């Protein structure tokens, strides 16, 4: 059974991409992990450099993620 999880924060450049990276690393192969923001401030921007650094320190690469807005 496939599991889908969406991590959400305001702009999708700090908390949610970091959470997506962590959960993706820890999840089983049958889980689909994604992230989005509730606002459209940062669409198509990379995660904040601080979030990229925190992830990198834990061996997780989120540098290629792009911000997107959550749409119902």
Could you confirm whether 15 is annotated as catalytic? yes
Per DSSP, the residues of 7-63 read EEESSSSSHHHHHHHHHHHHS-TTEEEEEEESS-TTTTPPPPHHHHHHHHHTT---T
Active-site residue identified among 15, 44, 45, 68 = 15
Active-site choice (1, 9, 14, 44): 9
Is residue 68 flagged as an active site residue?
no
- Report, as residue numbers or ranges, the catalytic residues: 9, 15
């Amino acid at each position: 059974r496939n599991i889908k999880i969406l991590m959400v924060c305001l702009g999708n450049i700090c908390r949610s991409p970091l959470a997506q990276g962590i959960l993706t690393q820890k999840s089983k192969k049958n889980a689909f992990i994604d992230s989005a923001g509730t606002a459209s401030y940062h669409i198509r921007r990379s995660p904040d450099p601080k979030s990229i650094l925190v992830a990198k320190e834990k061996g997780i690469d989120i540098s290629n993620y792009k911000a997107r807005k959550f749409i119902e």
